[in-house]
Amino acid sequence: MGTDKEGQDQAMNQETPSIVDLSVEDLDALFKRAMRNSLILGLAAALVLLIASNWRNAAMMMTGVLISVASIFEWQRLVRVINARLNNQKTPTSAFAVVLFFVLRLTLYAGVIYGSLKCFQGSAVALLCGLGLAALAIGFEVVRLLRD
């Protein structure tokens, strides 16, 4: 009876996809699709805001979307460096630069957010929705990948 249960557990583990088993190419494709989806959804939402509200809110949305897409790109570069370290591969010579620019761009993004709030004087909710598109797109891609 114990072996029956173990056999079922092994069969279940073989059927369930694991995010740990993703290749570097799969991760790159995931990030690229997430960037593309964020841009498409963001442009559509900004267009709707432009028509329904005003240009200020559309500009706030696009600011958030552009920061989201740039953030996904930064995470993609950071994941490559981390994967190289975890797999005991030779890390890119620019590993320090990737980490340094990641931190510097976070500071830059904070400045862009502050500047857009002051200059555009649009809705902060539109900005937050644009910023949230990155998390939404990555989450959608991960669920889609695990489901397949």
- Residue 82: exposure state from Cβ atoms within 10 A (0-12, 13-18, ≥19): middle
- Three-state SS annotation for 30-89: HHHHHHHHHHHHHHHHHHHHHHHCCHHHHHHHHHHHHHHHHHHHHHHHHHHHHHHHHCCC
Listed as own residue / partner, the contacts of 48-56 with beta carbons closer than 8 Å and 24 or more positions apart are: 49/126, 53/123, 54/122, 56/120, 56/121, 56/122, 56/123
DSSP assignment letter at 91: P
Give me the torsion for CA of 120, 122, 128, 133, rounded to 10°.
-80
pLDDT tens for each residue of 11-27? 455 555 555 667 778 88
Q: With 90 as the cut, is the pLDDT of residue 31 above it?
A: yes
Identify residue 135 by its one-letter amino acid code: A
Q: With 90 as the cut, is the pLDDT of residue 67 above it?
A: yes
Q: How far, CA to CA in Å, does 144 sit from each of 28, 75, 93, 140?
A: 15, 19, 33, 6
Overall average pLDDT of the 38-64 stretch: 95
pLDDT of residue 14: 54
pLDDT of residue 20: 60
pLDDT of residue 34: 94
120 CB neighbour count, 10 Å cutoff:
19
User: Using an 8 Å Cβ cutoff, are 16 and 142 in contact?
Assistant: no
